[in-house]
Amino acid sequence: MTIETAKRQFPSRIETIAGATAAVIKEAESFGFSGEALDGIDMAVREAVTNAVLHGNKQDATKTVNVIVERNSDSFVVAVQDEGEGFNPSDVPDPTDEQNLLKASGRGMLFMRAFMDEVEWTKHPAGGTIVRMTKRK
Pairwise CA distance, residues 18 & 9, whole Å:
13
The pLDDT of 92-106, averaged and rounded, is: 63
What is the average pLDDT score of the chain? Answer: 90
pLDDT reported for residue 100? 56
Domains of the chain: 4-136 (3.30.565.10)
How many whole angstroms from its chain centre is CA 65? 10
pLDDT at 2: 64
Q: What is the pTM of this model?
A: 0.90
Residue 15: pLDDT over 80 = yes
Q: Which pLDDT score is estimated for 103? A: 65
